Amino acid sequence: MKIYEKAPAKINLLLDVMRKREDGFHEVEMIMTMVDLADRLEMEELQSDSIFISSQAGYIPLDEKNLAFQAARLIKDRYNVRKGVYIHLDKNIPVAAGLAGGSSDAAATLRGLNRLWQLGISEDELCTLGAELGSDVPFCVTGGTAIARGRGEKLERIPNPPQCWVILAKPPINVSTADVYGKLRASELKQHPSTQDMVEAISQGSFADVCANLGNVLETVTLQLHPEVLQMKDIMQRLGADGVLMSGSGPTVFGLVSKEAKVSRIYNGLRGFCKEVYVVRMLT
Ligand code: ATP
């Protein structure tokens, strides 16, 4: 038996860091939503007790370092599943981009194997399992739009933001999430984005207010380390995107655009500076 599961990318409309905790993690407050750029997972049951991963993307690990592998092993161990699975990852989400591609693959694996092996695990329990794999995995299990607190695993669902175009541009650089958090001095942050104002903008369906309240404190670190990201933000702003922000720890920058007429101009303008540009919609 074979099943398919979609693993969409996430963007952070807001990312705030409150403080560094005693356990080394950061206490965050994020507003996350999904966009319709997605990996596609194919899962086939194996009678042997083993996990195999394959992918057309040459640059991700296919062994136990792969988050989909880790998700499959976790669910097998926890629910005593003696069968195996072959997972093919059709990767479309750029890797190490701040779009939670790996986390979304892990979440899709948990959802898919719950179906494939008819385990009857509740969504809450899948989120709890997901939190063992990474802070963004619980959100990727549920999807939609949510405020994430704690280290990202405590979710409060909120309505979806108003529909719009999302233009993603990934500069050709690697950003280490650990490095960015390591260099962040949370206690010295001068400005914090307002979660409350963003939630209000979303619940009123005000696209202009959503754009006005975008904020990501990790920009203070990544933009200094990688001026290319700042340059990409400037270009997107100059080309007329309504709201522009870096997603996660970067390097992907996204622009929100309400009018379709502007989209191709911005896309074509960006393509002159950056090879990896995607035009997608919010997943609402
Ligand atoms: P986040 O936004 O959650 O920080 P990201 O988008 O920055 O995530 P990912 O694409 O999830 O980053 O990849 C981060 C690292 O995880 C990569 O270096 C990659 O080698 C590894 N990895 C493990 N499994 C996967 C997977 N299924 N897809 C992509 N990368 C994976």
Residue from 39, 105, 136, 242 carrying the catalytic annotation: 136
> Which residue's entry shows tokens 């958090």?
181
Are residues 140 and 169 part of one domain? no
Are residues 121 and 33 part of one domain? yes
Are residues 232 and 263 part of one domain? yes
User: For residue range 123-146, what is the model confidence (pLDDT) as tens digits?
Assistant: 999 999 999 999 999 999 999 999
- Where residue 41 sits, what CATH number does that domain have? 3.30.230.10
Are residues 132 and 42 part of one domain? yes
Domain that holds residue 19: 2-157
Are residues 138 and 25 part of one domain? yes
What integer best gives the mean pLDDT of the chain? 96
CA angle 24, 27, 31 (to 5 degrees): 140
Are residues 234 and 132 part of one domain? no
Cα–ligand 1 centroid distance for 121 (angstroms)? 25
Among the candidates 129, 157, 185, a domain finishes at 157
Report pLDDT for 170: 97
pTM for the full predicted model:
0.96
Among the candidates 112, 140, 157, a domain finishes at 157
The number of beta carbons lying within 10 Å of the beta carbon of residue 117 is 18
Are residues 69 and 7 part of one domain? yes
Report pLDDT for 59: 86
Are residues 214 and 149 part of one domain? no
Are residues 273 and 186 part of one domain? yes
Among the candidates 157, 191, 217, a domain finishes at 157
Q: How far apart are CA 198 and CA 194, in angstroms?
A: 6
Query: Annotated binding residue at 205?
Result: no
Does any ligand 1 atom lie closer than 6 A to the CB of residue 64?
Answer: no
Are residues 226 and 109 part of one domain? no
Higher-pLDDT residue of 85 and 188 is 85
User: For residue range 46-89, what is the model confidence (pLDDT) as tens digits?
Assistant: 999 999 999 999 889 999 999 999 999 999 999 999 999 999 99
Residues in the chain: 284
Number of domains in the chain: 2
Do the Cβ atoms of 79 and 116 come closer than 8 Å? no
Do the Cβ atoms of 57 and 239 come closer than 8 Å? no
> Which residue's entry shows tokens 């993603």?
168
Q: Which residue's CA is the nearest one to ligand 1's atom 25?
A: 102
Are residues 13 and 152 part of one domain? yes
Instruction: State which amino acid sits at residue 241.
Output: A
Q: What are the structure tokens assigned to 59, written together?
A: 């640059």
Are residues 229 and 112 part of one domain? no
